[in-house]
Amino acid sequence: MKNFDGMKKIMMILACVVAMTTVACEKYEDGRPSKDVRTEFKKMYPDAKDVEWGHEPGFWVVSFETGTPPNVLEHEARYEADGTWAGTVTEYTVNSVPKEIRNYLAQSDYGKYPVVDDDVDYCETPTGSYYVFAVNMNGATIPVRVWPDGKVDEPLMM
């Protein structure tokens, strides 16, 4: 009987360690999102690391990383309260954006203006995906959307 009680204690300690490790992997700044939100996130991004949850009006916002060094990508996804995915933004460097996309920008009316920094956002939404470059137009930083089909939008208001 003593061996059984000792095993029981060891199993309880291991269960606590596992539970603490699991909780430590996700940070919650503004409460905890619903099970539906967390389930949808884990389904979409099963390999997410350094997960941090926050809340903005109407959305749960989750920042996380994927990949392994040196190919780590930073993401931010938004979910509605019922778990519906609203979109994800992934940070890329200009050189990691497909050449075809960079060429679309270069051939557009915005191509004559320099790209402001090396960060480009890849935005995925339920209705489509596009890249956002920040260009310097006569001293003003203007975000420009470039779609995979070559369309380049007028500057976005941010």
Question: What strands, in cross-sheet order, belong to the sheet with 140-146?
Answer: 26-28, 49-56, 59-66, 73-79, 85-93, 119-125, 128-137, 140-146
What are the boundaries of each domain within the chain?
87-158
Hey, what CATH class is 87-158 in?
Answer: alpha beta
Q: What is the pLDDT of residues 7-62, one digit of tens each?
A: 334 334 433 333 333 333 566 666 789 999 999 999 999 999 999 999 999 999 99
Share of the chain above pLDDT 90, in %: 72
Q: What SS3 string covers 15-56?
A: HHHHHHHHHHCEEECCCCCCHHHHHHHHHHCCCCEEEEEEEE
pTM for the full predicted model: 0.77
Q: Tell me: pLDDT of 144 over 90.
A: yes
